[in-house]
């Protein structure tokens, strides 16, 4: 059973460009979470999605950030008009169940660098 897949692993964007981060959950998992890790900080929750639904986006910045998890294909975290402060590691996690004790399986992350 393959683990959570994320691509690209490293992404470099100039200020003002768009960044698209992809996450394929583990087989059989229909719940996806996105977290951001800034330097010297722990992971911060961004958004929780199920297939075709955003369940909780309380951690998403109000502007420029969006996420989706379509019926087919990977979950996408999209950052428009990136700024230097968006440079971080973005981790995706998946779970076979949304509520409950919350055990999540993490991908290797996408490291975004904005120049």
Compare residues 86 and 91 and give the one whose CB is closer to other proteins.
91
* Residues 17-36, interacting with other proteins (CB under 8 A): 31, 33, 35
Nearest-approach distance from CB 111 to other proteins, in angstroms: 8
**CA–CA gap between residue 91 and residue 70 (Å, rounded):** 18
Nearest-approach distance from CB 20 to other proteins, in angstroms: 19
Query: Is 106 a binder of other proteins (CB under 8 A)?
Result: yes
- Choose which of 7, 22, 59, 64 interacts with other proteins (CB under 8 A): 59
Which tokens belong to 13?
A: 């964007």
Cβ 37 vs Cβ 106: under 8 Å = no
- CA distance readout (Å), 56 to 45, 47, 76, 85: 10, 6, 15, 23
* Residues 62-81, interacting with other proteins (CB under 8 A): none
- Choose which of 28, 40, 53, 62 interacts with other proteins (CB under 8 A): 40
Query: Is 104 a binder of other proteins (CB under 8 A)?
Result: yes
Question: 43: Cβ–Cβ under 8 A, 6 or more apart, which residues?
Answer: 35, 36, 37, 91
**CA–CA gap between residue 115 and residue 111 (Å, rounded):** 13
Cβ 48 vs Cβ 31: under 8 Å = yes
Give the residues lining the site for other proteins (CB under 8 A).
4, 6, 31, 33, 35, 40-45, 48, 55-56, 59, 91, 93, 95, 97-109, 111
């Amino acid at each position: 059973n393959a683990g959570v897949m994320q691509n690209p692993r490293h992404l470099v964007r100039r200020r003002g460009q768009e960044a698209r981060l992809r996450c394929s959950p583990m087989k059989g998992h229909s719940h996806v979470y996105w977290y951001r890790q800034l330097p010297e900080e722990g992971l911060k929750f961004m958004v929780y999605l199920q297939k075709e639904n955003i369940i909780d986006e309380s951690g998403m910045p109000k502007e420029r950030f969006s996420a989706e998890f379509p019926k087919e294909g990977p979950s996408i975290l999209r950052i428009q008009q990136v700024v230097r402060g968006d440079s971080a590691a973005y981790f995706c996690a998946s779970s076979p169940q949304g509520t409950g004790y919350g055990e999540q399986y993490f991908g290797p992350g996408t490291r975004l660098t904005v120049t």
